[in-house]
Chains A and B, each alone.
Chain A
């Protein structure tokens, strides 16, 4: 890693990595600034540089106002942001993030995502694990899907999505209309067997070039007298990828197994 052996040169490797775990690893009784300065000094910055770096990071992570308050008084989102800032003090070339946004409110998640994007764009390799497949989709250049401790698929988001097929047309049929009629229309205009969910009153089918075929579908549905509540083209999400690949929903901790979760990786590791 970073040109060093992780076993024999662990000390060197530590100089190039940053780590943020699932739980904020901070000194609760110190201020946010003091936490950052301490880590800076431990990372061999001079006191002056450590203070300067702390100031920059507090600004970047929107914590300047709370910088001199005890971490104890921080909200969950602020803690996580400070925790992420802490792992960036030494400007690591490789950053490990273990579910950095789990349980975060939206503004904190946005700040975190922005930070990850900026880091990845400026040459930091970020290895991020997440349960939220949408997060991997948004952030990652390369994604490895891990199920029960094994990598079951790897590739870009687009590559993974092609594995489960392309677009799907999805209809939600109004209660007074006939599901079978809707199904028949979709069967004529799409490229696979439509699936009907009577409980949700939905019919969906795989389609190629869905946008171009939409007018025909709508015309025929109208002709057949089918009333719709909703109509759309759905592109597969990573959730679909995961479900297709594993045959089950993403689990946090299957008993007796390693956590099944996809890992995103915005940049190639060195």
Chain B
């Protein structure tokens, strides 16, 4: 390996950058590629565009009418923050599907033969998925406003909720990247999303208050990171009566989101890169 201070001359007379500089540039090129893909196949976006709208409408007008909130308050105000929790967690299966698709077409093999930073393929994908999720947030906010959801606190709190959401989404993309490295096909990644991600979203406070759940399930739901993000968004957007739950993440939801995100990134980012490298060496 050449040290950063010793750039190699190439026949094309490449620009001289440090290794870290190239890693960033590779990541950027790959990230743009993932986004350019979406521009050509907008149906790939249905996960972040159509799905949240359907969930909001379903829960606001169908299930919501039967859900009683212990502290009172309107259900749609409660729901949209829960949807933030579900949607941000939903980046994980998206990332896994994208990576398995690239592996099944052999594109990852192509990348492996190129002189690019090991982390760039994964980082490019996770950043692109994060950008996609930003669009998801716009759609979700728009749908929320349409059904009567409002931001009650200041813009600062709302931006904090947004920042926490994106941080959590980014953490979840790395969990998805790990899954993508372990799975064989986009179909199995999709199935994993259905088997893991969907139940995980429902066993949380995203759609219904946890008080009515059986004890063991309630503990799980209260410690579920999706619940933490939903609770944090509820506090920051305001307009939802406080629900007093003893579990620590429900007492300090913002801190809980930070802690969960840090933990997820610390575990899954290096693991994903390790799994990618192992695939390369195999």
Contact = CB atoms under 8 A, between A and B. Distances in A.
Interface residues of A, number: 33
Interface string B21-38: 010011001100100110
A9 B11 CA distance: 19
A46 B29 CA distance: 11
Interface in B14-60: 14-15, 22, 25-26, 29-30, 33, 36-37, 40-41
Contacts of B11: 91
Nearest to B44: A29
B106 A43 contact: no
B36 A12 contact: no
A177 to B, nearest CB: 56
Given A9-B1, A14-B115, A39-B114, A25 B106 contact: yes
B196 interface: no
Contact of B109 (A11, A15, A25): A25
Given A14-B115, A15-B8, A29 B110 contact: no
A52 to B, nearest CB: 10
Contacts, number: 84
B114 A42 contact: yes
Nearest to B113: A19
Contacts of B25: 41
A27 B105 contact: yes
Interface of A: 8-9, 11-12, 14-15, 17-19, 21, 23-30, 34, 38-39, 41-46, 49, 70, 86-87, 90-91
Interface of B: 1-2, 8, 10-12, 14-15, 22, 25-26, 29-30, 33, 36-37, 40-41, 102, 105-107, 109-111, 113-116
12 contacts: A11-B1, A21-B106, A23-B106, A26-B105, A34-B36, A38-B29, A41-B25, A42-B114, A44-B14, A44-B15, A90-B114, A90-B115
